Amino acid sequence: MQHKVGYTGGINKDLAKDKYTNTNYFHANNIKVITSGGLSTGSIENEKGNTLLFNFPTVGARYKVVIADDTVVIDGNSVTISGSDSIETTYNKIVADSNIATFISNNQINIFFNDLGVFIQVLDTTITVSGSVTVQSAATSSIFVCGWTRLNEYLIVFTSDSEDVEPTNALCQIWKFKFTSGSRTLIDGASGNTLVSTQHLIYNDILNYSTETYIRDTVANFETNSKGRVYWTDFYN
């Protein structure tokens, strides 16, 4: 004897199980009832699982320049600095080197200064930095997604190296990328399915959010092709 069951009654968690008909079901994971344009059979099929679309690369180290009578060496290019130089003068000396300027224009490194000092962020992890510097944050490949939003055609993804409930020194990143026109799997500028820091990493610093204090309430405001704003909070900082 052939016995056919169709779950056309759908899910029902209100009735006692001994009152169920064979057209209802109480609980299900990763399945759905087949229903389509009058041809509903009540049969079930598996839901498609997740597909890995991209990975994150190793995030390069960040260095702080020690202002002293010494040299800063970036990938073999040596710049002499002085302990009497101001922060801005030190910065100007470093970026004046033509080879280092090329690294900057190619987005292989980012050099900036503020009231705290001069900083060198490595984006291309083949670039070496030595001399009168200290490591502010080491290179890391252990980062976790903490939130995301969409800015027009771009995805903005927030990551962190911390899973702490109360992060105190969490190194955080913000990534920006888009899928190739007409594709749902290929990412512009990616290496296979791995993002490229020189193309996609737009921020890397201590922001102290984590997978526990994740990013939420994001508001994205696209203004022009070269300008957009993303507002967010983690209700912790």
Alpha-carbon distance 82 to 103, whole Å? Answer: 23
pLDDT digits (tens, 9 = 90+) for 172-218: 999 999 999 888 889 999 998 999 999 999 999 899 999 999 999 99
pTM: 0.76
pLDDT digits (tens, 9 = 90+) for 119-178: 999 999 999 999 999 999 999 999 999 999 999 999 999 999 999 999 998 999 999 999
Domain boundaries, the chain: 10-46, 62-137, 144-233
Q: Which helix (H) or strand (E) holds 100?
A: helix 98-105
Greater confidence (26 vs 114) lies with 114
188: number of Cβ within 10 Å: 15
Tokens of 36: 């389509």
211 burial level (CB within 10 Å; 0-12, 13-18, 19+):
middle
Q: What was the pLDDT predicted at 2?
A: 52
Could you tell me if 60 and 124 are in contact, meaning their C-beta atoms sit under 8 angstroms apart?
yes
By 3-state DSSP, what share of the chain in percent is helix, strand and coil, each rounded to 5?
10, 40, 50
CA geometry: angle at 148 spanning 214 and 227, to 5°?
Answer: 125
Q: Could you give the maximum distance between any two Cα atoms of the chain, in Å?
A: 95
Query: Is the pLDDT at 68 greater than 80, yes or no?
Result: yes
Q: What was the pLDDT predicted at 112?
A: 95
Tell me what the pLDDT averaged over the chain comes to: 89
Using a pLDDT cut of 90, give the percent of the chain over it: 68
**Given pLDDT bands bounded at 50, 70 and 90, which one contains residue 47?**
confident
Cα 100 from chain centroid?
27
Residue type, 34: I
The residues near 79 (Cβ < 8 Å, ≥ 6 apart) are 71, 72, 73, 93, 94, 96, 97, 100
Count of alpha carbons within 13 Å of 75, Cβ hemisphere only?
17
Helix (H, G, I), strand (E, B) or coil at 120: strand
